[in-house]
Amino acid sequence: MYSFATGWVMRVAYNLNTGAQLWIKNQTENPYSTVMAIPGANDGVYVEYTKETTTFSGYSTTTGQQVWGPTAPLQNPLGYYDQTSGVCAGGALYAWTFGGWIYKYNITTGSLIWSYTDGTAGENTPYGVNPFWIIGDYEATLAGGMLFAESGHCYGPPLFSGAKLYAINATTGKLVWSIINFDTGSCPAVVDGQLLTFNAYDNQIYSYGVGPTKTTVSAPSVGVSTTTPITISGMVTDISSGSQQQAVAANFPNGLPCVSDASMEQFMEAVYEQEPMPTNITGVPVTVYVLDSNNNYRSIGTTTTDASGFYSLNWTPDIKGNYTVTATFAGSPAYYGSSAQTAFYASAPAPTQAPTSTPLSGLATQNALEYIGVAIIIVIIIIGAVIALLVTRKRP
């Protein structure tokens, strides 16, 4: 229902199965107000929005009687331009506004549960905020415990700058992720865990969801012993359909790396939307396990991939025998997990030999020593004889 009130509003309810009229009410309203019904109803309550006061009110679906409201005015008066920008589901009213806010109200009491804003936009927009789409009945989608809402405005030139797709936790109101996207007022479609939306910035259709991955692992195959450290290494890459596109495959010939949730937004914008590549990309954790010759399966460490998807881990085998190595990426909210295996044999270290003495060279032999001794004795005798002769000659 969309009514420019002239002092009263007629509200009528019909049975969806039979078309029979359930009730009709003529109610007095401000003659200068614009009243709009929010699509859907929940827990026996439907909601109306009054533009001039930027407030919501709840009415019984069985009697038409007002049960709560009006709520406090919205935080930004630009909400005056809002239309039927909301949905009733899961015991709550979710409303997104041209004033740059998203609200969640309790459907039976009208109390505010949470609110979210992307903050000020400065001079990036004429409005000082990033307004959420309010053209048409649905510009956001509630699915899988998330509210997917889109900012933007269709009037220009210049082209609206900075439009985004936001994924908001429907329970807490916290931002889970966002990405550049100018959907020009259409509603994101969600089916089988995939979100489909149009992006007018590059006129392409995008699909968002959990992506498949590929893990590789390698280890030395020769020269391994229980005294020498070895390096176990490999890659963790994104093998979703998008990574196989010509432009993406050309830019990442070694595979599109998997990145952390913290790096996801800027990295995906760089890969698919021609934005600058961030310089602070962080990777994903990889845990390395071994099955040794004693049939013990154990973790030997965890490492993290770099910006290219590469990882490595240094480890020294602790017993001899055959080893099977398994590298595992457990997965994340953005990726399915994957693993890979390799093998090597570790030998025992070579036995240490006892030291052997080396004969000294250049030393005299036994016979030579004997000859030297005899010669020394002869020299001593001669010297003694000479001295005796000299002493005898000196006598008078």
Query: Can you read off the two tokens belonging to residue 368?
Result: 């030579």
pLDDT computed for residue 95 by the predictor? 92
pLDDT computed for residue 29 by the predictor? 72
pLDDT computed for residue 364 by the predictor? 57
C-alpha–C-alpha distance, residues 71 and 58, integer Å: 9
For the chain, what are the domain ranges? 2-208, 213-346
Give 2-208's CATH code, choosing from 3.40.50.150, 3.40.630.10, 2.60.40.10, 2.130.10.10.
2.130.10.10
CB 128 within 8 A of CB 121: yes
Query: Can you read off the two tokens belonging to residue 58?
Result: 């709840």
Helix (H, G, I), strand (E, B) or coil at 376: helix
C-alpha–C-alpha distance, residues 331 and 257, integer Å: 13
pLDDT computed for residue 2 by the predictor? 45
Which amino acid belongs to residue 134? I
pLDDT computed for residue 149 by the predictor? 92
Q: What angle do CA 12, 15, 20 make, to 5 degrees?
A: 80
Helix (H, G, I), strand (E, B) or coil at 304: strand
CB 107 within 8 A of CB 95: no
- Helices and strands, number each (H, E), in the chain: 3, 26
Identify the residue whose tokens are 């994924």. 167
CB 328 within 8 A of CB 287: yes
C-alpha–C-alpha distance, residues 393 and 190, integer Å: 136
As a whole number of Å, the CA-based R_g of the chain is: 42
> For 213-346, which CATH class?
mainly beta
pLDDT values of the chain reduced to their tens digit, one per residue, 396 residues: 445 556 777 888 898 899 999 999 887 777 777 888 888 889 999 999 988 899 999 999 999 999 998 999 999 988 888 877 888 999 999 999 989 999 999 999 999 999 999 888 887 777 888 888 877 556 789 999 999 999 888 766 778 888 999 999 999 999 999 999 998 767 889 999 999 999 999 999 999 999 999 999 999 989 899 999 999 999 999 999 999 999 999 999 999 999 999 999 999 999 999 999 999 999 999 999 999 999 999 999 999 999 999 999 999 999 999 999 999 999 999 999 999 999 999 998 877 666 666 665 655 566 665 666 666 777 677 776 666 666 565 555
Q: Which of 268, 295, 280, 288 is nearest to 330 (CA)?
A: 288
Query: Can you read off the two tokens belonging to residue 6?
Result: 């002239």
Beta carbons within 8 Å of 74's beta carbon, 6+ residues apart: 54, 55, 82, 97, 99, 101, 103
Of how many residues is the chain composed? 396
Q: Which of 83, 163, 87 is nearest to 124 (CA)?
A: 163
